[in-house]
Amino acid sequence: MKLALFTGCTIPARALNYEISARRLADALGIEMVDIKNASCCGMPVRNINRIASLTMSANTLAQADEMGMDLMTLCSACNATLAEAAHELNHDKELRKQINKNLVSAGGKPYNGDRKVWHFTRYLYQEIGSDKIASLVKHPLNGISVVAHAGCHYLKPTKTFECFDDPEVPSTLDQLIQTTGAKSVKIINRNECCSGGILGIKESTSLKVVGGKLKRIKDRGGVDAMVLHCPFCNIQYEGNQKKIEREVGEVFDLPVLYLPQLLGLALGIDEKDLGFSLNRIKPKVLLEKMGA
């Protein structure tokens, strides 16, 4: 199974543990990730300002995957949504694709002529690898471990683009993958609340209050070993800003935040050193001690 890997902008700069663990997990599952050599930004930063410019940026990446003869694999949920929406539009609107291809060619790029599918790594694990296959490969069950899953906004919306493969209001695919490890995915009030990353640069105080509220609900629930997610910006909010929030509210959360491939990798017996745990800001010491790592 070969897929063209698009890491986006945030992951290489601020979420290398996500990339490291995803690559290592992919190897263990027989997924070959082939890097796109000249990838550009997905186009999300300008999507609400200049739709044509955004589509042209997305099409540049889609065209490269098309040339490689592979579907596109993304790790970032925002990149996934942007590229998947662009692919949906360009695959169904020939006139729009003609206009975008003209922009690409004039900029020295190659036209997008294919019908490429854009996969989020989590969705690919769920639909193409399958929970049963992953469960069969578990070497170190995470029995006794409890986590809170955070699916995030861009993983499932818009539903038409993602073919309604999961319920956007009551998502379960992330939970099902977590449960293949033997860990328990616990529920809290307003579990699907946005990480508020979208307003961080506009109203930081409000953004951090939203994050702090969810962290407090997790703490009050008790018995939670970690949060598990699959989006680099959600990670920035819940892990990267966690200490800042603690100082502002005067309360310690000390909640480890793991990327899904890190959790799955532990269960499959991959050494924690190969899953980027040294780059986690909040070390999951209790979780690792529970499983004897």
Residue 1 binned pLDDT confidence (cut-offs 50, 70, 90): confident
How high is the pLDDT of residue 292? 74
Give the residue-averaged pLDDT of 230-247: 97
In the chain, CATH 1.20.1050.140 sits at 2-121
Q: Give the model confidence (pLDDT) of 141-165 as tens digits.
A: 999 999 999 999 999 988 888 989 9
Q: What percent of the chain has pLDDT over 90?
A: 90
Of 158, 164, 149, give the one whose Cα is nearest residue 195: 149
Model pLDDT for residues 105-142, shown as the tens digit of each residue: 999 999 998 788 999 999 999 999 999 999 999 999 99
Q: Per CATH, which fold does 131-290 belong to?
A: Rossmann fold (3.40.50)
Question: Would you say residue 67 has pLDDT above 90?
Answer: yes
Q: Is there a contact between 186 and 149 (Cβ–Cβ < 8 Å)?
A: no
Compute the distance between CA of residue 245 and CA of residue 129 in angstroms, rounded to an integer: 38
211 within 8 A of 240, measured Cβ to Cβ: no
Stretch 249-259: mean pLDDT: 96
Global confidence as pTM = 0.96
Q: What is the pLDDT of residue 39?
A: 85
Among candidate residues 142, 144, 145, 148, the one with its CA nearest the CA of residue 220: 148
Are 44 and 54 spatial neighbours (Cβ–Cβ below 8 Å)? yes
Which of the two residues, 159 and 86, has the higher pLDDT score? 86
Question: Which CATH fold topology does 2-121 show?
Answer: Glutathione S-transferase Yfyf (Class Pi); Chain A, domain 2 (1.20.1050)
Which residues in the chain are classed under CATH 3.40.50.11810?
131-290
Confidence of residue 293 (pLDDT cuts 50, 70, 90): low
Q: What is the mean pLDDT of residues 56-79?
A: 96
Average pLDDT over residues 245-257: 95
Q: How confident is the model at residue 238 (pLDDT cuts 50, 70, 90)?
A: very high
Q: How much is the average pLDDT of 166-195?
A: 96
**Mean pLDDT estimate for the chain:** 95
